[in-house]
Chain A
């Protein structure tokens, strides 16, 4: 077992652990911080898979923007004390059973299906580089790209409209 492989298993362990802590933590701030850790480990996976551009974008978009927004809202609503009523144990057990069943079903499906290995002859290590992705993005996927920009515009307008305080509305 060489060092990269053991590093892969270590990263996977860290990913799963922080994902579990996101769900288990009682304090929302801790959840956010564990989720940031999970995104970092996922970026590590992307780098191992030679997708450097997406690793950087993952950090910038998820850890740098989205999670700051989460943290911002949590601080804004001042959710420091844990006043979340826990669901009943039956609900928790049922949820775990549902999740476990999904996992078992998918796992069974993987065992039955033939998953392709990589092909050393036509392997292209430059796939994840930004030049390559840019060519694909702006040639074959130009329409979805433009649509994504419209989606972002609509989301921005929606967020501003939702956040705007109407006349007579009470303050925080």
Chain B
């Protein structure tokens, strides 16, 4: 790997990192605005135009609060909890393909942190690790409510990971690749997976709600039962890290949903746009602008799903804990297995028939 390649990779990763943070930051603002809209009120509107500086004001408040560690807490693990939550949340964005390639002086730059042939497994592994931040933090607080929240989070995440993995397998059977870039490229031309996997998509989005600890599955931090759940004892920027990690997770899962089921940077008529742009502006500039449009489409899809998360949050009440477990184990997992069998049968028997008929 020569120096320019290294610098380009570093710059790509840095841009991905900053974008993730900025989107997570403004998700906090958007959440309040959406809440205000749904509850027929204004939402934040004092700091900046339309409250746009509200995230900065919040960050300032968080930073200047007293950094408090309970006397009987395990000090190192108490600090490690939010750090782990933040770390695992940020790791996952490395393999997401944000767009196609940039061409600069004949070099192709991929808009993706790391192109890996185990991309989806990597994301799955990082998501599986997300529970450690919550568990370690909740345990180290030395508080019964925190511990209960942590145990709830752990059992919830483990349970819903199973259904999530099983719903992913149907996608993998269709695309026969684990690389996210490859999966997106295969969905070119309105060949989006959502048309083939509606059931898988429903299971996946339900599980991603549970994995992000969002309403209706926010039992780990359910304030009516557990005070604040696993972050009861946390204050100042440590609490900020937990809340921030939740928004990053939300962005990551929205991005993964749009990559897996909604074609990532593909949009209808992109071939036409591409040929128009390249013929008008030359193969380099036209290509880059086409890529930028694709990236914008990708972010549009991801932001829509972030909005969807918020919409659900202010619409649906919370589950009871036994309902949550029943849904996970007795409904979603059998449904996911059923989905795998249907997909397998379709790939084996239906696909040859249809391709023969089309030809």
Interface residues of A (CB under 8 A from B): 29, 33, 36, 52-53, 55-57, 59-60, 63-65, 68-69, 71-72, 75-76, 80, 129-130
Give the residues in chain B near A36, CB-CB below 8 Å.
132
* A68:B121 contact, CB within 8 angstroms: no
0/1 interface trace, chain B 100-128, chain A, CB 8 Å (1 if under): 00000000000000001110011011001
* A57:B121 contact, CB within 8 angstroms: yes
What's the nearest-Cβ distance from chain B to residue A163, in Å?
A: 12
* A63:B131 contact, CB within 8 angstroms: no
What's the nearest-Cβ distance from chain A to residue B227, in Å?
A: 18
With most chain B CB atoms within 10 A of its CB, the pick from A57, A129, A130 is A130
Q: How many A-B residue pairs have CB under 8 A?
A: 67
Q: Which residues 63-109 in B have Cβ within 8 Å of A in the complex?
A: 74, 77
* B118:A33 contact, CB within 8 angstroms: no
Cα distance, A68 to B125, chains bound together (Å): 13
Question: If the complex has contacts A33-B136, A63-B128, A65-B128, are A71 and B154 also in contact, measured as CB distance less than 8 A?
Answer: yes
Cα distance, A123 to B319, chains bound together (Å): 55
Cα distance, A106 to B151, chains bound together (Å): 42
Give the residues in chain A near B157, CB-CB below 8 Å.
68
In the complex, how many residues of chain B place their beta carbon closer than 8 angstroms to a beta carbon of chain A?
Answer: 26
Partner of A60, one of B117, B124, B150, B155: B124
Look across to chain A and name the residue whose beta carbon is closest to the beta carbon of B150. A75
Cα distance, A75 to B142, chains bound together (Å): 11
* A29:B125 contact, CB within 8 angstroms: no
- Enumerate 27 A-B pairs (CB-CB under 8 Å) in ascending A order: A29-B136, A29-B139, A33-B77, A52-B116, A52-B117, A55-B118, A56-B118, A56-B124, A59-B128, A60-B124, A60-B125, A63-B128, A63-B129, A64-B129, A68-B128, A68-B132, A71-B139, A71-B154, A72-B154, A75-B135, A75-B139, A75-B151, A75-B154, A80-B139, A80-B142, A129-B117, A130-B118
Give the residues in chain A near B124, CB-CB below 8 Å.
56, 60
Which are the 6 A-B pairs with shortest beta-carbon distances?
A64-B128, A56-B121, A59-B125, A60-B125, A56-B118, A52-B118
List 16 other contacts, CB 8 Å, given A60-B125, A65-B161, A71-B139: A29-B77, A52-B118, A53-B121, A60-B121, A60-B128, A63-B129, A68-B154, A68-B157, A69-B158, A71-B154, A72-B154, A72-B158, A76-B151, A80-B142, A130-B117, A130-B178
